[in-house]
Amino acid sequence: MSTEVISVINTEEINAAIQRGVEVLQNGGLVAFPTETVYGLAAYAGNAKGLKALQKVKGRVGDQPFTVHIGRKETVSDLVPDLSGCAMRLARKGFPGPLTLVLPTTAAHIQERTGVDESALNAMIRDGTVGLRCPNHNVARRLLGGIKAPVLASSANPAGHPPPLTGPDVLKTLNNEIDLLIDVGPAQHGQPSTIVRANEYAYSILREGVLDKRTIDRMASLRLLFVCTGNTCRSPMAEGLARKLVAERIGCAVDELAARNVHIESAGTFSSANPASRHAVTVMKKRGIDISGHIAKPVTPELAHVADRVIVMTQSHRQAVLSTLPHVEGHVTLLLGDKDLSDPFGGSEAEYEACAKEIEEALIALVGELDL
């Protein structure tokens, strides 16, 4: 078998390469294709011929599964039932990208959603888990998105050889062993994806690649930052209420949230190290929330940068945050959606109580939308 090579330079050639790649895969052939990490080797799970060819080239038998490659992160739900909050956050932030997620699944779920047979299921599932990869490469995503059933893939090299970084690298070991090579030049990163196993609340790194542990930590975590002016009234009440509501939804104690990769903080646009207001402490205590130890702190670039959502009390707070941190604009929202939350500072306990009720009502809706 002579390996067909398509070198891609312009849009017209990309379209032709994608069309040819889909055709080869559907007919049971093997296609070497580019990703942002290394070149991959793909087979169509809906064709037993391609699957057997991939296993032969990679020297895999029995319980050695292949990673399922997908063109859109929305496809994750077709392969994994009941995604955990941790898995949802990793997929949302890490796909497409140099990340492989190992997630719990069932053969029945995948078969129902994709229609693949038992041999394909055995080649993608191991110990009740499936590996998923959504490459951040236009050619790869279009190729994978052109086929409905799962595409199984690995690096485009025989066992024992280094992963190929260029088209010629692929041909050094697989020329005449595969049907098609789509060559677009050197891979961007030149190292493998990071492999992460995610369970209900936590994760473990099985192999560190392009993404380091610090980056995975940020992806796996949910970080909420509430912002008001002095960080003594509205935002600490919002922080305390959000902690309580999130913990109730997850089914854990408030002090266990960090262990569940959930971090909730508050800060002020113009604050110094003052305690929470007396009435704020009182109205929170009525709800079983203790903010008596709270000390105000200012919004810092680091706090805002790592937050998934920066939730402000007024438009002026939004403007203050964005005036110094314009890059976080997409993460900044008003707590009440389209109106400002009045400041109870200096008011009566009744005014604080009314403010707390508004915060609580808004947070009930917000917490219901979070990836938990």
Quote the pLDDT of residue 62: 63
266 in the same domain as 165: no
Higher per-residue pLDDT: 56 or 199: 56
Rounded Cα distance, 151 and 149, in Å: 7
Domain that holds residue 278: 221-369
pTM of the model: 0.88
* CATH code, 160: 3.90.870.10
Quote the pLDDT of residue 10: 80
237 in the same domain as 110: no
User: Which residues are designated catalytic?
Assistant: 228, 234, 343
Per-residue pLDDT tens over the stretch 270-318: 999 999 999 999 999 999 999 999 999 999 999 998 899 999 999 999 9
Quote the pLDDT of residue 296: 97
Per-residue pLDDT tens over the stretch 246-256: 999 999 999 99
Q: Which helix (H) or strand (E) holds 153?
A: strand 151-155
320 in the same domain as 233: yes
323 in the same domain as 306: yes
Q: Among 187, 213, 239, which residue terminates a domain?
A: 213
241 in the same domain as 179: no
Question: What is the total count of domains within the chain?
Answer: 2
244 in the same domain as 174: no
Higher per-residue pLDDT: 59 or 314: 314
Per DSSP, helices labelled H in the chain are 11-26, 48-58, 76-79, 85-94, 107-114, 118-124, 138-145, 167-174, 213-220, 234-250, 278-285, 301-306, 315-324, 349-369
Per-residue pLDDT tens over the stretch 151-160: 999 999 998 8
Non-local (6+) Cβ contacts of 104 within 8 A are 80, 128, 129, 199
Average pLDDT of the segment spanning 97-122: 95
209 in the same domain as 231: no
Mean pLDDT over the full length of the chain: 94
75 in the same domain as 46: yes
Judged against a pLDDT cut of 70, whether residue 200 lies above it is answered with yes
237 in the same domain as 90: no
* CATH code, 305: 3.40.50.2300
With a pLDDT cut of 70, the percent of the chain lying above it is: 99
Q: Among 149, 179, 213, which residue terminates a domain?
A: 213
Rounded Cα distance, 21 and 30, in Å: 9
- String of DSSP letters for 219-266: HH-EEEEEEESSSSSHHHHHHHHHHHHHHHHHTS-GGGTGGGTEEEEE
287 in the same domain as 304: yes
Rounded Cα distance, 9 and 4, in Å: 16
